[in-house]
Amino acid sequence: MKLTRLFSIRLLNLLPLLLAALIVSCEAQDFGEIIEDAGRDIRWGIAARHFDRELELSVPDDGSYIEPRNAAEYVIIATLPAPVDPALISEANVSLRGKDELNTDIFPDYTVALSGDDRRVRISVVVLPNQARYLVQLRNNDGTLLGEAVFGRLTGDVDGDGAVGLIDNNILLIYILAEITAANTLTVRSDLNCDGIIFNGDVILRTANDGEDLTAPIPL
């Protein structure tokens, strides 16, 4: 067999592998390219486990959101407009920092992962100090800022007005033993201890924080 023919046969055998490698390289594009190309914003939320299910609350982009739940773990979720390669996301793509009412810096420990559809960046935080404001940012692999969200944390602030008081207590009393559903965000916010039921434990937790307010500055 001639050398040129042998080379042609080997090249044909390698062609499928070369094409596959090219496809993979095209799919594994830079972390920010899909978001930039889509021309849509990242949507933010905070989830917590309420006994046997995870319930997420939306975080608007005006910095007004206050997290009232006293959860064992919080999951800050950034929903991307399109899937990304899981290999492209890590703790280095995320920044999370806070300030308490004394203007003390807070740097919570967190882990980062993608959900099954590769669109939802899940930032899991176990310790998120109370009476503080937080800034979470998502960055490209080259450091370019892709999106950010500001939120506060004040246990017992069911109505989200920045203070724990009588209105929060009245909301709790209205929803005592009510079904907790994602469609009714006040039921989710009223399950302060995240045990899956709105009852005495939530009233006690609110009472323990009665009179507290959120005066912490936004971290810059």
Q: Report the domain count for the chain.
A: 2
Q: Is 172's pLDDT higher than 70? A: yes
Q: Give the CA distances from residue 136 to residues 10, 14, 61, 91, 202, in Å, rounded to whole numbers and listed in that order.
A: 52, 46, 12, 12, 28
Residues 8 and 70 in one domain: no
Q: Is 22's pLDDT higher than 50? A: no
pLDDT, position 85: 84
Residues 11 and 78 in one domain: no
- 220 within some domain: no
* Tokens 């203007």 sit on residue: 103
Helices marked H in the chain: 3-27, 33-38, 166-174, 185-190, 200-208
- The residue range of the domain holding 15 is 1-29
Q: What is the pLDDT of residues 112-125, one digit of tens each?
A: 999 988 899 999 99
CA distance 212 to 200: 20
Q: What is the pLDDT of residues 130-147, one digit of tens each?
A: 999 999 999 988 888 999
Which residue type is seen at 6?
L
Q: Is 91's pLDDT higher than 80? A: yes
pLDDT bracket for residue 33 (50, 70, 90): low
Residues 43 and 99 in one domain: yes
Distance of CA 81 to the CA centre of its chain: 15
Residues 138 and 113 in one domain: yes
